[in-house]
Structure 1
């Protein structure tokens, strides 16, 4: 196990990380056009990789330099636990598929994960200029304004959401997504099914949405939002009700007043 660092060590890192992510966001914004640029699957993949490469070229070095001894999680679509220690889990274009299709729902995320738990995150949305930040024990913030999850206690009044984590999920995952959406439509108020996960989770942290779940362990789409929701007063578990870590097979982040009810509905989807 690594030695736990004091809270102040993470807090003092925040300005450097925020500046790096905003610079990376400017790179991604410069590559954006409000119309779809690709047609064939191969062209879409080429555009996605070009976005990733352009952002990583300006983001990787500043983050690794900011925390000496930290390592880089290379595969943004990977899941499962990381080796012990400190890792940067980054999505250089969270919502990349939206970006290449001329849609506005995308951003840049960078999260420091220590022994498989996120301890610092920055999420920047270049088109709006919004920057979401959180540190473990330090709260969740939107441009200096504290975030707080919803006060709802009735699942029947809840706005919830889910989505796929990557293209080409297995058939069983697609089945569970479909069945879970039906179950939540029956028990909740409205269900959003969209990508990326982080852009739903920032709304859970800010109280605009009440819960988000995902049948996947792709860590880059979950670590930032997990920390933001937890620090905004939400509950973050797997679908067995256990505390979520990067080793968890699935994910639920919800306002505390509806978490148990949402878990009951979703855990029944086998």
Structure 2
């Protein structure tokens, strides 16, 4: 924990230098899973070997909030035992470069780490004599759940209380896993296939699913039927507006004050 605490303190120092509130530690389980997977499989990628994106694993290990992943890697030409100080210093250097020298990734790492929407973080590091893998999972934890998001007989349901954020849209993305995705320097959730709205409303440019229940004030209650014949990895994304007025300047094209407070991903066989 001292290694993780050290890295979270360093991340918060960077965020505060940029006028962004600090994050708290969340032991989500996904960061540890992801770095150990990369170390074991000797693969540095946001995707697993089958081409499945990290939001799927964030949900699979039991997290029902919004998340984004940043990963880093260091390789040494000569093998030797990596003690804790070396691992911490190398990880800090990776984090620094993610924020201040991220042109090659179009500043995506920077904007993930600095985004004020994220109020929690999970960080893990795995290493051997030649390699260090770093995973930073930024988490937007703004819902107090009464009923966790779940799927039963083709119907999606969730109920909870909203903390500060103001929901704006509920969208569904579909991704077909492909092993070639491991070579990507980025990840996404796939193609936008549907949006959820209450009765009487329609999206102009995407397929609209009419919700059976749709409450998005201080209380959140959503129920709708999932689209049929859509196999692959589906992700339900709840996007909210951040009313706190925190000023920051994303460089990767992200929208200011638009927060993904739920990224619920699951496998669908299309039935």
TM band (smaller chain):
under 0.3
- The normalised TM-score by structure 2 is 0.26
1 or 2, which has the higher strand percentage? 2
- The normalised TM-score by structure 1 is 0.26
**Which structure would you say has the larger RCO, counting Cα contacts within 8 Å and 6 or more residues apart?**
2
